[in-house]
Amino acid sequence: MTQLNKTALHSSHEKLSAKMVNFAQWEMPITYSSLMEEHYAVRKSAGIFDVSHMAVFDFNGGNQISFFEKIFANDIKKIANENKALYGVLLNDNGGILDDLIIYHANDKFRLVSNCSTREQNANWYKKHAAKFGVDVIERQDMGILAIQGPKAIKKILAINEVSSEIMKLDPFECIFSGDHLYARTGYTGEDGLELIVPNDVIVNLWDLALAEGCTPIGLGARDTLRLEAGLNLYGNDMTENNHPYESNLAWTIDMKDESRNFIGKQALLSINKDKCKKIIGVVLKDRGVLRPGYEITHAQGKGIILSGTYSPTLEASIGLARVDPGYGDTGQVTIRHKELNINFVSPRFLRQGKI
Amino acid sequence: MSDTPGDLKFLSSHEWVRVEADGSVTVGISDHAQDLLGDIVFVELPEIGLSVDAENDAAIVESVKAASDVCSPISGEVTEVNSMLEDQPEIINSSPYEDGWFYKMTPSDLGEIDNLLSPEDYSEVCEV
């Protein structure tokens, strides 16, 4: 058996008696206390997540803007003169989604965070294309990521002297470098908060200081229920290389306003009829039970499949994301263990700013 | 598993039975099972009158994280279900051996109990 990767916070998790699981070859905490308690801590106060398993890349030299214009389906020019984060996807030539990621730009530097399971694929992809633009790709394995999320997250971080007070000035999606530390007002929970992308040698201390301020440690279990309530896709579950953005609720990340920009996958996307393709839609189960990935759906004009499904602690009902044929109305059926149960189709954003 | 009641018998798949004074048996899932599952949010209980065979699925339990089948440790006919679990499935987390029982049954062959694990043998299974 190959040794699992560990984050710099591994012993901190063990000290808290976290239940650890293998997540894409990383040994990560799934819960510390109870998933529900952790979920509510983020919705009501503040939680802290170790997400150092995600891949961090920096870039050096060359024409970085042209490089990102080529590989990124969103338009990097939106943030090239700002201190901001931009979400989007990497596409292959067929318009299939290779990954979703966030590119940060601040203080004339770009930093990119993409998924853990796609680390090698992406590193090779970036390097292959960066070479044409004279850009060096630097994988920052010395970096870790803390996410501090919840209505009281900012207040709690401001109490930590080791974090630059510059964070006070950040609006949502803004970010700033303080030396090699990147502070960004982004997250994956639907709550206000920050993500701190910082060197591993300071991360244990920041974690301890955040716990001392009353942040609750949150495992990957609640991270999944929180992101699903916020209607945020999970790469590998809700979209893969075999899906294009229009059938993945990601049309808003495709920017074709600059007609001269020829990003990878653009030609394939132009040939897709956006009105006739499948869509990702939110699903709420009206009967008793829990939606799970793979369950089959029917509606008046077609079929579908549950991609992500769980019990929503905030809505106190089972929710999911499903990819369905066009022509769905407000209601449908899901088959759970040979029984047809009733579902409602809703916006995937089950919660907005933590509220129903 | 020092707090496991001594009068229970277990399947290695984490279900328990208790023989009651009137000869009926009560079935539930172990403390270890509820801990593995985490916050339980849904149960599907068998119909009263259903005949179940030993080690066949009799109920479903779902936590936020996962769904799991509940096997009947012995054969028999279901006589009563714990309908309180339908509205408060979290009772299984807080009281797996008492208030969190799943169903009661009339055993068809009480001798099947001898095939089950003692609390000591079961706790060894959990440590593997």
Q: Tell me whether residues B62 and A225 touch, CB distance under 8 A.
A: no
- Is residue B75 one of the residues assigned to a domain? yes
Contacts 24+ apart (CB under 8 A), A252-256: A253/A73, A253/A74, A253/A87, A253/A88, A253/A89, A253/A100, A254/A73, A254/A74, A255/A73, A255/A74, A255/A75, A255/A78
* Chain B CB within 8 Å of residue A286 CB: no
Q: Tell me whether residues B62 and A30 touch, CB distance under 8 A.
A: no
Structural domains of chain A ordered from first start:
1-272 (3.30.1360.120), 278-356 (2.40.30.110)
- Is residue B91 one of the residues assigned to a domain? yes
- Is residue B3 one of the residues assigned to a domain? no
Q: Tell me whether residues A225 and B64 touch, CB distance under 8 A.
A: yes
Domain span including residue B33: 9-127
* Chain B CB within 8 Å of residue A290 CB: yes
pLDDT digit string (tens) for B10-52?
Answer: 999 999 999 999 999 999 999 999 999 999 999 999 999 999 9
pTM, 2 dp: 0.95
Closest among A52, A42, A57, A46 to A9, alpha carbons compared: A52
Q: Tell me the longest C-alpha to C-alpha distance in chain A.
A: 59
pLDDT digit string (tens) for B81-103?
Answer: 999 999 999 999 999 999 999 99
SS3 A177: strand
- Is residue B77 one of the residues assigned to a domain? yes
* Chain B CB within 8 Å of residue A311 CB: yes
pLDDT digit string (tens) for A66-101?
Answer: 999 999 999 999 999 999 999 999 999 999 999 999
- Is residue B2 one of the residues assigned to a domain? no
CATH code of the domain containing B66: 2.40.50.100
Which residues is B61 bridged to in the sheet?
B43, B68
- Is residue B65 one of the residues assigned to a domain? yes
pLDDT at A356: 63
CA distances from A343 to A249, A287, A303 (A): 19, 8, 13
Cβ contact B73:B116 at 8 Å: yes
Number of domains in chain B: 1
pLDDT digit string (tens) for A315-330?
Answer: 999 999 999 999 999 9
Cβ contact A346:A356 at 8 Å: no
- Is residue B100 one of the residues assigned to a domain? yes
- Give me Rg for the CA atoms of chain B: 13
- Is residue B1 one of the residues assigned to a domain? no
Alpha carbon A338 to chain centroid distance?
33
